Amino acid sequence: MDSVEDLFRRLEQLNSIGAALSKERDIDRLLESILVAAKTITLADGGTLYRMTEDGQALRFEILRTDSLRIALGGTTGNPITFPNLPLHDDNGNPNNSLVAAYAALHDKTVNITDAYTEAGFDFSGTRKFDERTGYRSQSFLTVPMKNHENEIIGVLQLINAKHLESGKVVPFSASDQRLAESLASQAAIALTNRQLISQLETLFESFINLINLAIDEKSPYTGGHCQRVPELTMMIAEAVNATTDGPLADFTMTDKDRYELKIAGMLHDCGKVTTPVHVVDKATKLQTLFDRMHLIDTRFEVLKRDAENHALRQHLALRDRRDAAAEDAIWTRYQAELRELDDERAILRKANVGGEAMAEADQQRVRDIGQKHKWRSVDGIEADFLTADEIENLSIRAGTLTQKEREIINYHIVATIKMLEQLPWPKHLESVPEYAGGHHERMDGKGYPKGLTREQMSLQARMMGIADIFEALTARDRPYKHGMKLSQAMGIMANFRKTGHIDPDLFDVFVRQGVYRRYAEQFLDPGQIDGVEDATLLGGG
């Protein structure tokens, strides 16, 4: 019989185990903890934890431990359990009462067996074969059903061979062992059910986030990949910083909750893009709206060329009576020169429309001159400048394809992101998501947007996301307006951003020293983009 001191000791163990189980987030570790705790509190040599299959028709092996045989399968061990499931009914639908674990689940009843070899009513043939193969002697069994808060059986806890505290000999499980195991099974079932419910809610929440990203992807195939890659790179940077043991970031550490919070922020960092018009996001050329308006200008050039031809022909007809060959040659020479000039001007506008490298002031002025130089008549017979004011504004964009107004529309997505995220009732472990996600366009020198925050005003996580967002954008291959940069070119730009106060210098150093950019490149970039990069040069050492 257990002493009072021993009972108090085991009750204290039970309380501490229950508290520990309620904090565990990982399902495998939770299941493992349940079995190990049950073995510890009852001094059992071995045990198995079964979970009910999704269809409720069988018990599935989850964790198996036998200390004296040094057997550890399932859970976090990496050693899979290959045993078949235990069916709760036979082929005719009759209850499978011969298997003790199935019996406990079917009848919601604890089974305490003193010796499996002499127990009548249960089939222990499999146990005997195991013993013959291993030299083990399976003797005492304690099999406890696990019920959730809705009184449903969700699993079975089975313990084998209780050992005497002092002698170490195998003994039957006592009544107090049974009560403690049943109490633990009840706590464990609640902890497991809660963890499953939380996991289901997290899965549902992440599915909604993916739904938002899918909506962005469906609007624009050029941003969907960005919404997936930035979270990946952000977490790669965070893990690298977490692994850093020296330097200014050595004190940074992450828990599983911190990781999840940053992951969610990364997934939502561009959710505001659902408000951005597609024609702005996908603007591949300066004149593109729902279509590339360069085709309209091409048509106008054809009209001008046709007008020039008609004018030349009329002049030629006027000379028929005089038959002046020199004058006719001069007409056709002027006409050909006019065609060449129009073709040259069209080529200039076509080049300007691409929006690649920075446009010189002289080229911008040339666009304005062409736009105002020619007059043409619309289908309504109204004479107008060759280019509209809007077309001149777009074709004169100094860099890229966006006007200032369109850049403001694009930039507004981060304001929309912050507004959207701040409306949500975040739980405590996710309360920093809006700040992390909303800060990836800020700069260390305070010249970013939308709030103009400085480095000291930003969390380290937001600064990580800023680096991830920029590097992904530089190297992305799926943008409509540019090709993905070579790795050396992108890292050169990043190094310059480090010097000019755009990105966090300490984080960039980790980004380089820990080889984060290389791992990302190997996973996400085209092999043709990956070229040689000198880390020492990036860090100012070469």
pLDDT reported for residue 421: 93
Higher pLDDT, 28 or 79: 79
**Overall size of the chain counted in residues:** 542
Please tell me the least confidently modeled range out of 81-85, 113-117, 380-384, 535-539.
380-384
CATH number, domain of 71, equals 3.30.450.40
User: Looking at residues 403-413, what average pLDDT do you find?
Assistant: 79
User: Could you give the CA distance from residue 487 to residue 521 in angstroms, rounded to a whole number?
Assistant: 8
User: Could you give the CA distance from residue 103 to residue 87 in angstroms, rounded to a whole number?
Assistant: 10
388: in domain: yes
Beta bridge partners of 144: 157
User: Could you give the CA distance from residue 406 to residue 105 in angstroms, rounded to a whole number?
Assistant: 64
Write out the two tokens for 90: 């036979």
pLDDT reported for residue 318: 77
Q: Do 70 and 153 reside in the same domain of the chain? A: yes
Domain count for the chain? 3
Q: Do 65 and 115 reside in the same domain of the chain? A: yes
Full residue range of the structural domain in which residue 68 is found: 4-197
Beta strands at 58-66 and 170-171: parallel, antiparallel or unpaired: unpaired
Q: Do 449 and 531 reside in the same domain of the chain? A: yes
Is residue 453 within 8 Å of residue 465, measured between CB atoms?
no
Instruction: For 293-405, list the strands marked E by DSSP.
Output: 375-377, 383-385
430: in domain: yes
pLDDT of 542 over the 50 cut: no
333: in domain: yes
Write out the two tokens for 252: 């940074």
Q: Do 22 and 151 reside in the same domain of the chain? A: yes
Please tell me the least confidently modeled range out of 142-156, 357-371, 462-476.
357-371
Q: Do 258 and 362 reside in the same domain of the chain? A: no
Q: Do 352 and 449 reside in the same domain of the chain? A: no
Q: What is the mean pLDDT of the chain?
A: 86
pLDDT reported for residue 32: 83
Q: Do 80 and 102 reside in the same domain of the chain? A: yes
Final residue belonging to a domain, choices 357, 372, 401: 401
Query: Tens digits of per-residue pLDDT, 103-138?
Result: 999 999 999 999 999 998 899 998 999 999 999 999
Q: Do 303 and 172 reside in the same domain of the chain? A: no
User: Could you give the CA distance from residue 392 to residue 376 in angstroms, rounded to a whole number?
Assistant: 16
Please tell me the least confidently modeled range out of 201-205, 387-391, 492-496.
387-391
Higher pLDDT, 384 or 238: 238
pLDDT reported for residue 7: 56
Is residue 128 within 8 Å of residue 117, measured between CB atoms?
yes
